[in-house]
Amino acid sequence: MATPIRRSDRSERRVSPVFLGIVAVMAVTGWAVWTEFAASTAFAVFLFVTSAWVVSLCLHEYAHARTALHGGDITVGAKGYLTLNPLKYTHALLSIVLPVIFVIMGGIGLPGGAVFIERGRIHGRWKHSLISAAGPLANVLFAVACTAPFWLDALDGVPRAFRYALGFLALLQVTAAILNFLPVPGLDGYGVVEPWLSYGVRRQIEPFAPYGLFAVFVFLWIPEVNGVFFDFVHEILRTLGVTDVDSYCGRDLYRFWQERNLYCELGR
């Protein structure tokens, strides 16, 4: 008698209280920045952007897992990936802690690997590519949401602190999408092209996958590379209505522990 195929039950798809708590922090601190209610605007911006960034990381990994579920990997539900709970990820350090450290150190949105997909259950190269692309595409959608008030001219009368926070958050999403689409082993961009490579090439590249993320981060510390990269990022942001001042002052506010640049005035 054939064993029935297991389907994830409703509890495996229920949104985690941990994720809802992070969303609550994002909402409350965003409201505090919007209404200028916070005792320390810069600290409120830090909490708002950090919590929003973690929310986007959860959505990034959820997009991978959800696409994998429809692609044939029915184990993602039992692993807790469909609950949006970051504590369920394979590597919480790589998935949450390091990306937040990258933001604090360099203002770079660089998600790490998290959900473990049982690729052997998935058949078809296009499915494998789509699963890898789903995460960065979630960052693209998040970037569109962050920049919508800018290109819709809907920020008249909004406190500058909130505008700056959105500008910096948009920068993080754009950098995350671009970097993740790089065809570097260990990043999603390589996962998109990997199914189309020969078996021999994949075997040769496989040992380098654990170091791809760190290699990209190291390269971005080279001034010339960093300059070219951020010129490209800011060009995209300007196209979406986010000025260099918005993203720069957002980053300046985010770093509440440093002395604020007088150029970044607050108010309405």
Residue positions annotated with a catalytic role: 61
Structure tokens of 75? 């184990």
- Residues 6 or more apart from 4 whose CB is under 8 A from it? none
Q: What is the CA radius of gyration of the chain?
A: 20
Burial class from Cβ neighbours inside 10 Å (0-12, 13-18, 19+) for residue 116 reads middle
Quote the tokens at residue 173.
């999403």
Q: Is 150 left (phi over 0), alpha (psi -120 to 50) or beta?
A: alpha
* CA–CA dist 118, 247 (Å, integer): 38
Reading phi first (left if > 0) and then psi (alpha if -120 to 50, else beta), residue 178 is in: alpha
Q: How many helices (H) and strands (E) does the chain have?
A: 11, 0
Question: Which long-range CB contacts under 8 A does 58-61 form with residues at least 24 apart?
Answer: 58/19, 58/22, 58/84, 58/85, 58/86, 59/84, 59/138, 59/142, 60/111, 60/135, 60/136, 60/138, 60/139, 60/176, 61/86, 61/89, 61/95, 61/111, 61/114, 61/115, 61/135
